[in-house]
Amino acid sequence: MTERTGERLAVAVDAFLAHARHGRGLSEQTVRAYANDLEQLVAFATARGVDRLSDLGLELLRDWLWDADHRGLARSTIARRSSSVRAFTRWASESGWIASDPGVRLRAPKGASHLPRVVSSDQVRTMLDGLAARAATDDPGALRDLAVVELLYAAGIRVSELVGIDVRDLDRGRLTVRVLGKGGKERVVPFGVPARDALEAWLDRGRPALLASAQAGDGRAAGDGRAVGDGRAVGDGRAVGDGRAVGDGRAVGDGRAVGDGRAVGDAARNAAPAADALFIGDRGGRLGVRGAYRIVARLLQDLPGEGPSGPHTFRHTAATHLLDGGADLRAVQELLGHASLGTTQIYTHVSSARLREVYRTAHPRA
């Protein structure tokens, strides 16, 4: 391919973002992160008289990261910026836009390592017992909340995967659910009998009641990040005139907010009508990420322990409890849908930390 060394840097960035979104099928959240970082790079380079892609060199990239560090940006932010620009320059080199890759030797500090929050088995049991007591009253919201938490913990799925599940993705006989993970990768995940019982109660009694209640209103879904009758989403995923979601920064192409930070093209099933959704919000629309966060945050806020109080806590907890119970690391990797085993290995650190804590507490010579 002929080098396009005369192209402006901003033009090349736009082409890279289009490739990331459509060519590689990356999530909208990842593309936005690339866009934000590279927009900062273009502004920095322009202020220093660099307007052409061919003039983008290693020293300027290093100056850009040094400036970020000088302004007090977090190490994790600087590391992310380094990753973004290296992805961009690698693409530009491989696509023939430039002769060589100036970012190949770029280095940045690693982000601080934080162990994920994990809830104990006893705490999970107490939490689920409380939810089950509420669900026993056949309150539709309580039935849904129990099914949400049971599935998050039983399957260890991401919240974006949870809200994208349709009823047809659930196999109650085989105790499996089909989910769409990062990069549009589909996998089938098992779950247990308690989760099945909670899901059946939700599908048989809770979901129909919630849909009937919503249909008795004005028929428009709101507050859960899904679209209303005129194609505009309201609540936490509101769309403006050009169909881009605002409020939570998630965009889709046709004015429908999917609630998991991915464009409709990356997760087509999330664009299905709310009638197909496994989990729906209080007003009848597909349950969005923020709705799921609210459900979980209410449960975790009063529990001891530091760290996030979102749905990912149950993913971390499920992985850690599996490893504590003797599960193979590669099996846990498959369950979680991690592309790299290295990502899964953080949970061995969590288990080791728990072991040391038990040792210090219980051993007389600790």
| Catalytic-labelled residue, pool 80, 86, 182, 232 | 182
Picking from 210, 240, 70, the residue whose alpha carbon sits closest to that of residue 143 is 210
Annotated active-site residue 347? The verdict is yes
Annotated active-site residue 70? The verdict is no
Q: How many whole angstroms from its chain centre is CA 270?
A: 14
H-state helical runs in the chain: 9-18, 28-47, 58-70, 75-94, 121-135, 140-155, 159-163, 193-201, 207-215, 289-300, 312-324, 329-336, 341-344, 346-362
Distant-in-sequence, close-in-space partners of 361: CB < 8 Å, separation ≥ 6: none
| Catalytic-labelled residue, pool 75, 244, 294, 312 | 312
Annotated active-site residue 338? The verdict is yes
| Catalytic-labelled residue, pool 80, 196, 315, 321 | 315
The answer to whether residues 307 and 117 touch, using CB atoms and an 8 Å cutoff, is yes
Tokens representing 241 are 């005139």
Rounded Cα gap, residues 166 and 162, in angstroms:
9
| Catalytic-labelled residue, pool 158, 196, 232, 316 | 158
Tokens representing 132 are 């089950």
| Catalytic-labelled residue, pool 226, 269, 290, 347 | 347
- Under DSSP, is residue 30 helix (H, G, I), strand (E, B) or coil? helix
Annotated active-site residue 315? The verdict is yes
Catalytic positions, written as ranges: 158, 182, 312, 315, 338, 347
